[in-house]
Amino acid sequence: MKSTASYFKFNKNVFAENIKRFWAIPVLYTLFIFLSCIFPIMMSYDKIDKLGYYRISYLLTNQNPFTFIFLTTAPLAAAVIIFRYLQANNSTAALHAMPFTRQELFFTHCISGILLTIIPIIVNGLILLAIKTPVYNNAIPPENIFTTSAVMDWIWLSILIIILNFSVAVFAGIISGTSILHSILGFGFLFLLPAIGVVLTFYIEKFLFGFYLHWGINQFIEKLSPVVAILSSTELSSGFIIFYIMLTVFLFAASCALYLRRKLERATDTIAFNFLKPLFKYGISFCGMTVLGIYLLETGQNKITHMYIGFFIGSIISYLIAEMILQKSIWVFKNLKGYLIYLIIAAIFIVCIQTDILGYERRLPEIENISGISYNRYAYLEEKPALLVSPEIIEATHAFHKSIIDNRKWLENHTEDYSYNILLNYKLKNGKLLTRHYQLPYAFFENNPYIKTVYESHEYKKAANELFDVDPYNLAFISMQAYFLSEKNIRLIDSVEISEFIEVLKKDILNESFGEMLGYRKPLASIDFMWKPSEESHDKYLSASVKKSYLNTINWLRAKGYLDAITVSPEDVQYISVEKYHNEVSAKEVQTFVRESHTVPEATPDIMVITDRFQIAALLENFEDNYRQRKNGYLVSISFYNGHIYSGYYNKDKIPEFICKYFENNKL
């Protein structure tokens, strides 16, 4: 039995020859990093406390593009050059005929490559330690980011990334038979794990109804490769650093094991091992299938049939290209047996996800196992809403979720342009969390009696509205402005009035119906809450609206004499134009803009111009913007005397009768 030491035997002559031949790698990259990263810092050293923050920060976090180039290209270049002898028949035969073992040769080459690539980091790191001086960031309080520990962290983390990337490049060289493919695979493998994660989440998200792609999953995928983590500015945790170390050891061990079994005559072959050729072909086919499928899905009005067409065309083209690369010939069209095998595997993969063999889509916790429920309006927000625990809400949510599952096919194939995002979070009594994310058609959401029960409950409203957590005595002021005219505004400063206003506003919110919550009727005024300066309220901000259904709030404003100051009156409006919606008016679909002329246009059979004050008042009172059903409605534009125009869409069922009569009387 061979001793463990024999696998790590070091050959000084081979090592010396590598350093002698490839000394240019550390020299050139050392100069590259120094001139691109260190030298600019030294040139502005007298102003480094004012100008150096971003330079130092980008360098020590490897966000500097030049250090990123080094971390990705230097290990690959070293591996390609050092192991180049494997890709030529003459050189590989000659080197392996010399009096040293393959283990000895592999280990010495790896040590040589690692040393050649970490020298630039060590040299420039020592320079940074020599010139370090206090540089403070913009944190509160400011922190010194140019310290000995920060530089040492940069040195050792950069070395770890270099060694990992070098192990990836070595593995690519061992399994490939040409330097070109070695370079391509060595670079591509740096992104392989995140790419696999992104592709799998695409299929799961597309085919698994209710799947929630949490932001934490994206961060996890990004951290699977340090290169991708740097590109996405993701901070690495100690767990992932341990993962990188383990991955590095595994890749070196796998490369060594494959190197011992590699046949010398495999030089110049595309892939040096037969058992890897199907993996290469099917991997290329899967990538091509996915890319073209996604492309046709996005450019084909999100139709699933376009995606399947892309899957088929992309897979067969990619498979043929992979075969051409392996066979080094374009005459591969007769060898499609492997493609049929791939089609079967791909079909099984898609069917398994689409048919939900694990029961993910149908999983619904029992009511007695639920301890609480929370709702998120927007799935991409990292918010943590309050837990709702009343039996009424739990039962209504359970029934609402069941109605979604029962109507899955219709919900997945709906053609409505606008949908309602909702994220359901079940806190189970065993401590686990069950999360589902749905994009529901408005028609389904608006007419669902179970979600109506939830939204109208006081518990949900208090949890969903930040206003109920506001301490009025921590507010500096509340500003209100008319919805259409910002120049019509007021500001509440008195703490007693602020407290009274918040109380009447809370009362109206608690009394608001489900239909009013989802309605398109434009509010009377917008509200901005501003906090007193403090460390806790730094950048804190809250906005709300005074809806026209908030009678308690409106009566309070009227009693205080503030209502007229934030109400748009017919006297503020010069005229209102109304026209039936059609595609040609798409240029007017901007909510607000300024007109050049202040003259009232002439009415036409297609455009109604309203100057009557009573009719203007009627439109202002119930003005809505039903963007969902605009194709069946009217475009209403309010032209103010100050030159501003506000446009919105009325549903044909909500438009005042005098407008309907105008267009009926002017039909051709």
The 3-class secondary structure across 208-268, one letter per residue, is CCCCCCCHHHHHHHHHCCHHHHHHCCCCCCHHHHHHHHHHHHHHHHHHHHHHHHCCHHHCC
Report the C-alpha gap between 157 and 447 in whole angstroms: 55
Least confident of 81-85, 322-326, 381-385: 381-385
Distances 607 to 227, 286, 659, 660 between C-alpha atoms, Å: 59, 55, 10, 12
Query: Does 586 score more than 50 pLDDT?
Result: no
Burial bucket for residue 530 (CB in 10 Å: 0-12, 13-18, 19+): middle
Query: Does 264 score more than 80 pLDDT?
Result: no
0.85 surpassed by pTM: no
Q: How many residues does the chain have?
A: 668
Burial bucket for residue 489 (CB in 10 Å: 0-12, 13-18, 19+): middle
Least confident of 25-29, 385-389, 436-440, 586-590: 586-590
Query: Does 554 score more than 90 pLDDT?
Result: yes
Query: Does 587 score more than 60 pLDDT?
Result: no
CB atoms within 10 A of CB 534: 9
Which pLDDT belongs to residue 380?
Answer: 45
The 10s digit of each residue's pLDDT in 393-445 is: 999 999 999 999 999 888 877 766 678 888 888 999 998 888 898 888 888 88
Rg of the chain (C-alpha set): 34
Report the C-alpha gap between 484 and 41 in whole angstroms: 52
Query: Does 634 score more than 90 pLDDT?
Result: no
Query: Does 302 score more than 70 pLDDT?
Result: no
Which pLDDT belongs to residue 385?
Answer: 67
The 10s digit of each residue's pLDDT in 319-378 is: 999 888 888 788 777 777 888 989 999 989 888 888 888 888 888 999 999 999 988 765
The helix or strand, by DSSP H or E, that contains position 634, with its residue range, turns out to be strand 633-640
CA neighbours closer than 13 Å in the CB half-sphere of residue 284:
20
Least confident of 1-5, 89-93, 121-125, 498-502: 1-5
Query: Does 465 score more than 50 pLDDT?
Result: yes
Residue percentage of the chain with pLDDT more than 90:
37
Mean pLDDT in residue range 498-507: 95
Which pLDDT belongs to residue 457?
Answer: 94
Least confident of 264-278, 315-329, 480-494, 548-562: 264-278
The 10s digit of each residue's pLDDT in 163-218 is: 999 999 999 989 988 888 899 999 999 999 999 998 888 888 888 888 887 777 88
b/e sequence 333-366, b meaning 16+ C-beta within 10 Å: eeeeebbeebbeebeeebeebeebeeeebeeebe
Segments making up each domain of the chain, as ranges: 4-194+215-269, 282-354, 367-464, 466-566, 570-665
More confident residue, 43 or 38: 38
Report the C-alpha gap between 580 and 650 in whole angstroms: 10
At 489, is the pLDDT very low, low, confident or very high (cuts 50, 70, 90)? very high
Which pLDDT belongs to residue 622?
Answer: 84
Which pLDDT belongs to residue 491?
Answer: 94
Q: Nearest to residue 213, comparing CAs of 201, 222, 229? A: 201
Least confident of 188-197, 279-288, 333-342, 610-619: 333-342
Residue 336: alpha-carbon gap to chain centroid: 38
At 50, is the pLDDT very low, low, confident or very high (cuts 50, 70, 90)? low
Tell me the average pLDDT of the chain: 85
Tell me which residue has tokens 């503020």. 572
Mean pLDDT in residue range 448-456: 93
Q: Nearest to residue 448, comparing CAs of 509, 397, 524? A: 397
Query: Does 590 score more than 90 pLDDT?
Result: no
Query: Does 137 score more than 90 pLDDT?
Result: no
At 265, is the pLDDT very low, low, confident or very high (cuts 50, 70, 90)? low
Distances 492 to 156, 477, 482, 529 between C-alpha atoms, Å: 56, 6, 15, 10
Report the C-alpha gap between 573 and 575 in whole angstroms: 6
Which pLDDT belongs to residue 514?
Answer: 92
Report the C-alpha gap between 67 and 116 in whole angstroms: 16
Query: Does 233 score more than 90 pLDDT?
Result: no
